Structure 1
């Protein structure tokens, strides 16, 4: 587990006064502004975030130190991270996506299947992108209790009970 979690990304400038279009990855989208200063992935820059209004697919927001459209445009694609300590603790059956990345996936018999490369959500629920030497490319595994009955962060592994034909 890392000490920072990606909570959003800057989608580009919004208007001409330095506002940005901010995409939130938080369960409650507006909470992105409540997690204290957010930093870039490399930690080189830090921003206080003030949400100004909802916009299509996110929020218009003011970031501290960003005062021009050009500066806001220059941040397009920048991912923003919050300290893990600022985030709410989760129930036992919920996980931050960052904690699932890199976990070893094994089947119910203990055979290693690969590693979790990404957690995706296209609107119908979370999918785990599984990559491994015995797989042809990536395999998308639905992240449901039936198919993924066990997530053990302490040992760094998950158990997958794939339906027939999923890994073929």
Structure 2
């Protein structure tokens, strides 16, 4: 597991009942898909992970609840509140050409079509209309709409580079 890429897929946010079930926040789409990606890597401390296989769960109200192997009572479940849930990047299915997982775009070098360096992708966020790239270069931060063909001209994950049609002064 050292050096293996991981993707944060959710976190444990509470307990459900007395038999060790947990309430789960999922960032998978659809949210129940988090159970399709196994093993889970529970982040027990900075850079420390506990592998967990066989988590299962269901929707309950507006959230998810999960049964975790080895967690048999409410006290054990309560000790996990706040624990991030990661999965190995390799557990995610391959995507068609031209589609990307956000995690694959993070840390790409971003340059303009003229070759001006803008920085690196820090992260993305959703606005409703389209995702937005947060590109950082030192203290400078740029917000660039992730609109392929219009602002994003090319993405080369293997080469670690993204070309954008963007004014470097903006």
Per-residue CA deviations over 1:60-113 (Å, capped at 9, x if unaligned) read 111112233333233233222223333211011111222111111111111110
Give the match for residue 145 of structure 2: 142
- For residues 111 and 85 of structure 1, do their structure 2 counterparts lie closer, same or farther at Cα, with a shift above 3 Å needed? same
Farther-moved stretch of structure 1 (105-114 vs 82-91): 82-91
Give the match for residue 52 of structure 1: 58
Q: Are 2:114 and 1:109 equivalent residues in the alignment?
A: yes
Q: Are 2:160 and 1:160 equivalent residues in the alignment?
A: no
In 2, distance between residues paired with 1:28 and 1:110?
A: 38
Count the aligned residue pairs: 163
Superposed displacement of residue 28, structure 1 = 2.6
In 2, distance between residues paired with 1:100 and 1:7?
A: 16
Superposed displacement of residue 130, structure 1 = 1.2
In 1, distance between residues paired with 2:67 and 2:108?
A: 36
Unaligned 5+ segments in structure 2 are none
Give SS of 1:149's match. Answer: strand
- The structure in which a higher percent of residues are strand is 2
Q: Normalising to structure 1: TM-score of the pair?
A: 0.82
